[in-house]
Structures are given as C-alpha cells and as structure tokens.
Structure 1
Amino acid sequence: MDRAPFRIAVLASGTGSNLQAIIDAIAGGHLPAQLAGVFSDRPAAPALERARVAGVPAVAVRPRDFANRLEFDEHLFSRVDSVHPDLIVCAGYMRLVSELAVTARPGRMINIHPSLLPAFKGLHTHRQALDAGVAEHGASVHFVSPELDGGPVIAQARVLVLPGDDEATLAARVLRREHPLLLATLQLLAHRRLLLDGNRVLLDGQPLAHPLQLTDDNATLQPPDPINPPAY
C-alpha cells in the first residue's frame, strides 16, 4: 500500500516567506508532502493570506482572547491537532510554546532560527552576531524543546559575515539560505529519515555527532567533516 502523504502544519506570525517556500516546493513536486494548515497568533499576518491563496486552511487565534499562555496554547494546538499533522513547523512564529504543548508532541515540532545555534538565541540575532564580531553566521533547524531555541539541532546553513555588513545585509544573506535549509530538512523528514530519540537526532537510524550542513550550492544536507567539524 502507498504511504499516506506527509502532513505539515505551519505556525507563523509574520510575512511567511518560509511558508511560501514550502508552498512552492509542494506545488512544484519537489517536496513529497501535504500542507494541512497554517496557524497564526496574528489575524493580519501575511502568512495567512499566502495560505488562503494556495487553498490551504488558514486559522488565526488571538492570544488576548485567553486568560494566559497555557489556555491559548491549549486552544491553538487543539486546532492544529484537528488537521492531523505529522509535523508542526514553526516558521517565523514569534511566541514561546508552553512546555505542556511541546512535551505532548515529542519529535513532531521543528523551528527555523536565524543563527548558528547554540549561539544567539532569542531575538535580534543578526545584531547579536555583529556585536559579537563573529566571522560566520547563519540559520539552524532544530527540534522544539521547552527551552527557548534549545532543542537538538538538525541542520545548519552558514554564511560569512562580510566587512561593512549591517543587520539588513546580513539578514538578507541568511534568509537566502534559510529557505533551502528548511526545504532540505523537510525532505529528510518527509521520507521518515530523521527522528528524535531523546536528545539525539537520528539520520537513517544513526545518531548525528554534529548538525547536518547545507552544501554551498544549496542542494543537499551533508554531515560535516568529522576531522574538522565546524565550530559551535
């Protein structure tokens, strides 16, 4: 029997550029998955309109309609669960997810974060990188844990920090790598090649010693050189 399509739900708070990359990859036959729904904490988020244009269910849940974060998350994730996703992708979702919501869905939530984790967690990552004077910056895809940007890292894309960079130029360079990084990671997840085992990321049943790295041509993810792995 054919396996059922890999179902993805996306949480997004903003413009939804990573969401659009997912929509385009599925429509183009490059990602073997089905977008089951898009969910936002902001009713005016452009990501919701991107979903509607693509014919994908789009749901907004306002935090101010609930007494606290736990009640908000309980309602939001009941809506997410109703579309039966195999995977929940936080793509520019700007709210902390409660520990209860995370632990109820082990290994089924990922986030894309604009830094080389564990460096520069939280907000304003490009400013943090520039202030720290690092030579490399980038983006990471990680499994979501109760700790902010603290779950096991699956894959990363690296960019050089160039002389004269400001937040805008560095952010644009990272964003050009974010989209292929997320899509390459989703490819592995859709083919059931990636799993979370406790705090370990397994690829084809084997634990990753270091996060996978996006190749320079943005085509694939590869393990880093075991002799000279990237610095973290």
Structure 2
Amino acid sequence: MNLVEKVSRTEAEHFADRSAKHGGMARPSRQKRVIAVVASLTASLVIFRLELLKRLVAAGHDVIAFAPEHDPRVEQELARIGVRFIQIPMARTGLNPLKDLRTLWTLRRHFARLQPDIVLPYTMKPIIYAGIAARTLGIKERCFLVTGLGHIFSEAAGASLKARAIRYLCVRLYRSALRGARVVFVYNDADDDDIRRYRMLQGDLSPTMISGSGVDLD
C-alpha cells in the first residue's frame, strides 16, 4: 500500500450515510450521478480525499475533481481510480477580488457545462466559490466539508479593523455559499462554534460533526 492509499474510511462512510438520509447519494446506487469535488490544493485530493473519491467511483458515479495546480503524479493517480481532473485558477491565500471572481466564474462555467448532480467542496475558497456557483445554477445537492473556516477566524488573526472587516466579508460569503446546503460537515468544535456564532446556516440545518479524516491503520 503506497502513502496516498493510507487514508481513513470514516469520512467516506459519513458522507455516504448522511447524504442517503437526506435523499442524496445512496450507497450503493443504481443511478449514476455526476459529482464535482473541489479542492484548493491538488495534492490534497489523494493525500486526504482518495478513499472518498474511490468510494464515489465504486458506487457507480462520474466523479470530477477540480483543483488549481498541475500535478502529474496526482492527475495520474486520479485517472487510475477513474476520476477526471480539471485545473482551475485559484489563489489559495490571496485577497485579490479579481482573482477570486475569476475562480467563481470558472467554476460556474464548468458546472453549467457539466451539470453535476452533487457539488462537494472543501476548505475555504472552494466552499465559498463552488458553493455560490452551484447555488446560483440551481444545483440543490451541495455538501460541504468544513475542514477549517480559514485563518481569519483564528485568534491569531487578531481584532484589528482590517481583520474585523475581512471576517465580516467572509461571514457574508459563507452565508451565501451555504444557503440551502444539503449537509455541512465539520471536524472540530471551534469551527462548529463559529458556524453557529456567526449564523452561517439558515433554517433547521446544523453542522454535522465527524471525528476527522483520520489515519488508516491497515
């Protein structure tokens, strides 16, 4: 077993079980669906999400992964398990609104063309921009993996006027992205508390806590 295969099965099982309960992707499913997985770091698709991707493919779905870097080894591994890869522009840590709008527009254009049934983004910018793109296109099955809300929500970000302004903007963007979500997974109490504190979710939807991506001890 190589390094990229040593990932937890827990995350995949939580996603399949929770989605099935909400009328989403069942496990196993006879209906082939198009699932778009959006990441901010290409390598993370195999380091952290390989087991999830493999299970989605094994369930008979057409899985497309989106990420910013061209990484031949990752793309080869994704192709090996039957996942298509599409490179997208994304400044992972930048604050340039024009670059972020380009990310949003690119994702929206791809989603409009590919018509995914489920959109599954993780980390801050994929959640915000893939979430907004999917919602504005009427894609109802939007499932989010909140592996961290971003540095701006940490104590280290401080309470300066700039930090408060950026945090306020991020909260508004999160609310827009998560509106009408099917399920929102969180991995720690801090993110769960912040999502509730800033009222990022509407209606009866609450974050679903799971114990993390974990390590496959086998």
TM-score between the two structures when normalised by the length of structure 1: 0.46
- The answer to which structure has the higher strand fraction is 1
- The answer to which structure has the higher helix fraction is 2
